[in-house]
Amino acid sequence: MISIKDLSKVFHTKDQDVTAVDHLDLNIEAGEIYGVIGYSGAGKSTFIRLLNRLENPTGGSITIDGQEITSLSKNKLRLARQEIGMIFQHFNLLWSRTVRDNIAFPLEIAGVPKEKRQARVMELIELVGLKGRENAYPSQLSGGQKQRVGIARALANNPKVLLCDEATSALDPETTDSILDLLVDINEKLGLTIIMITHEMHVIRKICHRVAVMENGKVVEEGEVLNVFLHPEQAVTKKFVDQVMGDPDQEYSLALIHERYRSGKVLRLHFVGESTNQALISELSRKFKLDLNILHGKITQTQKGAYGTLFVHVEGDHDEIEKAKTYIKQTSVEVEVIPNVQ
C-alpha cells in the first residue's frame, strides 16, 4: 500500500543544515494501523508531512497505492491528496463554521454537488458519533467532540489513508481512549490504512498492529507491536515500553532487591497471549521445593493479544531453581534471571 524508500528531509538554515528525516525505509500494508513513535525532535512530524507533501522531500520516494507522490505535479498532487486524510493535534477547525459546515468544507473544495455533499456529511456525523451536534460551533464542543469533527472532515472524500499527527495528545486519558476506539472502528468498517504519529506508547499499545520507533530522523526499531513489547532492542524503545508496563527499576529498584534478597534469584517472567491466564506460580510452588515471593507485575493488552511481566523472588536449592526455570521454559512463558542479584 505505502512504500517509502531512502526518504530524507534536510532543512537548510543560515548556520547549519538540519536533517529531520534520514534515509528512511518503510513498508505499510493496506488496512493496517501503523504507529510511528518518537520523542520530540525524532523527525516523526516531518515524516508524516512528507507523506502528503506538506513538506517536499530532499531525497527518496513515497509510493501510495501504486502512485509515486514525490514526483507529482501540483495539479495531480491536489487530486492525490483527496485520498489522504489528515487529523491534527489541535483540531484545525474553522471556528466560524458549524460541525456540518466544517465536515462539508473539503467536499466543497472538491466540487461535490450540494445534495450529495449533505448526504455524505450526515453519514459521517453518524459514523463519528456527533448526531444532534451538527449545528454546533467548535467553541461549543469538548476536545473529544472537536477531534471527532476533525476525523469526519478527514474522511469526507473517502480517503485510502488517514494520517494522525499526535491526534490524542491534547486530550485527557478517557477521551483519548474513546477517540482510539473510534479509529479502530473506522479501520475495521472502512478498511482504511491509518498511520499514527505519537509519543505515547499507550496509543501504540491500544490500537496499532505494527510500530516504527524513530530517533534522530531514523527508524531504529520496527515490528509487530506485541513483539516490540516483548523484545525491545533499543534503549529508546525500552523507555517507551516502560510507559505502559511501568519501570521495575523505579517501582522496585534492583538495589533494593539486592539489599533485601541476598540469596536465591529474582526472575522476570514474560507472559504472552493465553499464557497470561496460566496459574504458573501456584504450579511452581506445588511441583518444586521453593519459596516464591511476587515482587511486581503487570498485564496489558495489544491488538495481537495480552502481554505481561512478573518479577518473582525464588528461594531454594540451586538445582531446584534450575529445574523450575527449565519447567517454565517448556511452557509459553519466557523467563530471565535479573542480573546483579545473587
User: Which of 175, 231, 230 has the alpha carbon at shortest distance from 203?
Assistant: 175
In 216-254, where do the E strands start and end? Answer: 218-224
Helices (H), 111-172: 114-127, 143-155
Q: Which residues contact 95 (CB under 8 A, 6 or more apart)?
A: 137, 138, 139
Fold of 2-244: Rossmann fold (3.40.50)
CA distance 244 to 114: 47
CA distance 86 to 68: 19
pLDDT per residue over 231-240, tens digit each? 889 999 988 8
Alpha carbon 120 to chain centroid, angstroms: 29
pLDDT per residue over 187-220, tens digit each? 999 999 999 999 998 899 899 999 999 999 999 9
The vertex-294 CA angle with 242 and 265, nearest 5°, equals 90
**Per-residue pLDDT in tens (0 to 9) along the chain, 342 residues:** 899 999 999 998 888 899 999 999 999 999 999 999 999 999 999 999 999 999 999 999 999 998 899 888 888 888 888 899 999 888 899 999 999 999 999 999 989 999 999 999 999 999 999 999 999 999 999 999 999 999 999 999 999 999 999 999 889 999 999 999 999 999 999 999 999 999 998 899 899 999 999 999 999 999 999 888 878 899 999 888 887 766 554 444 555 555 566 677 888 887 777 655 567 888 888 888 888 888 877 777 777 777 778 888 888 888 888 888 888 888 878 888 876 544
* Domain regions of the chain by residue span: 2-244, 248-337
Torsions phi, psi for 35 (to 5 deg): -100, 140
CATH code 2.40.30.30 for 248-337: no
User: Which of 116, 193, 129, 184 has the alpha carbon at shortest distance from 156?
Assistant: 116
